[in-house]
Structure 1
Amino acid sequence: MGKKMSMLNTAAPELIISDWLNTDAAISLQSLRGKVVFLHSFQMLCPACVSHGLPQANAVRNAFSQEELAVIGLHTVFEHHHAMGKEALQVFIHEYRPGFPIAIDMPDQFSDIPLSMQKYGLRGTPSTMLIDRKGRIRFHHLGVINDLKLGRMLCQLLTETDGIENNFAEKASKREEAQGCTVHSCGLP
């Protein structure tokens, strides 16, 4: 659990982005304070991302008020770099039509692991991070997450008042099984 668990209840670091798609302007997490943020990290060639993660992110985007909850996709490529560039992602977005902004994680010139992926301690895709209205990471999970569990956590975050917090993140994280493309499964360090 290491790094991902130590990030719980800490300030979400700003994303390090090379470009934005599906939005007219760059977005900062700071600008989203006061809203709950559903940050979905994906790769367009990750089967679990395409079959579950992205449809789930779209469903969240459509189910909740944009005034209260922001959905952001983070395309973070740690494998098959040549096949998942910006142009390919633009075609993917045109075909799958996600209804939320997509940030392209900044490549690291010294590593195959992009900078936001490193900063957040992401171990693969799909990954889900829930950030509360105060900008704190409240849930950090690798793999597919059950729709009902996710909905429950989002509703809890959306209904929290100052000083009242729910400890759902640690409990939910322990129950979920990691499914997806992990950094280590593709032979990267």
Structure 2
Amino acid sequence: MSAGTGPGWWRRTRLTPTILLMLTAILGVALATHHRSDPGRAGQRPVTPAPALAGATLTGERFDLAAARGHVVLVNVFASWCGPCRDELPLLVETARRWSPQGLRVVGLNLRDGPEAVRALLQEAHADDLTVLPDPDGTRAVEWGVRGVPETFVVGRDGRIVAHQPGVVTAQWLQEQLAHLLETA
């Protein structure tokens, strides 16, 4: 048995701080590259149960996310005073119309707004049929972990959040997040 391979050889081997630093850096780069190479993870949270979301809509009807099980639900947190929210609203309306036959429900959670301002925005965007739950004090948004507007969540047919987009959604993001969930209907 040679001197370097016998029992206790690892005790005789010295890992210098430079070697340890290099190994740590290589591992860090490898992990970061792996995370960046998975575009499906960007803007996604781990799959978790969606918080409760129920109450009277802007039109006085009742909405309950728990009753929407079996549907894919896109929850968009928005405000009429938010420019980016206004900009993405037509895309959300188009998405609702395109995918609703496959089981998509689009629900707006209106943050810290007055009903008149929201109604005016919906009318302007030809989105009068959009389901909107008022959140005048922001309590519901906090329960969902919202940090700003707009934010969008995709809730799968089983009631769990499967995707999250802080900021404005794009047609590409919506396609990537919804197509596979709705084509399995």
Common fold by TM > 0.5:
yes
Displacement of 1:106 after TM fit? 4.6
Taking structure 1 as reference, are residues 87 and 65 closer, same or farther at Cα in structure 2, changes over 3 Å only? closer
Tell me if structure 1 keeps the 8 A contact 2:71–2:104.
yes
Alignment partner, residue 57 of structure 2? 20
Matches within 5 A, 1:50-61: 50-52=86-88, 54-61=89-96
Q: TM-score by structure 2 length? A: 0.69
Contact 1:72/1:100 (8 A) holds in 2: yes
CA 66–102 in structure 1, closer or farther in 2 if over 3 Å, else same: farther
The amino acid of 1:96's aligned partner reads A
Matched ranges for 1:144-163 at <5 A: 144-160=168-184
Return the match for 1:102 from 132, 135, 152. Answer: 132
Q: CA deviation at 1:66?
A: 4.1
Of 103, 123, 144, the residue aligned with 1:68 is 103
Query: Counterpart of 1:140?
Result: 164
> Shift in Å at residue 158 of structure 1?
1.6
Distance in 2 between residues matched to 1:158 and 1:51, nearest whole Å: 25
Q: Where does the alignment leave 5 or more consecutive residues of structure 1 unmatched?
A: 78-83, 108-113, 162-189
Q: Distance in 1 between matches of 2:135 and 2:101?
A: 23
One-letter identity of the residue aligned with 1:32: A
Distance (Å, rounded) in 2 between the aligned partners of 1:66 and 1:75? 24
Aligned residues: 142
Distance 1:32 1:157 in 2: 15
The verdict on how the C-alpha distance between 1:25 and 1:127 changes in structure 2, with shifts beyond 3 A counting, is: same
Query: Runs of 5+ in structure 2 lacking a partner?
Result: 1-42
Letter in 1 for 2:72: V
Whether the aligned pair in 1 keeps the contact of 2:58 and 2:115 (CA below 8 Å) is: no
2:95 maps to a residue whose letter is V
Superposition misfits of 4+ residues, deviation over 3 angstroms:
none
Superposed CA RMSD? 2.2
Larger Rg: 2
Greater fraction of residues in helix: 2
Contact 1:16 1:106 in 2 (8 A): no
**Structure 2 counterpart of 1:68, which letter?**
G
Identity over aligned pairs, percent: 29
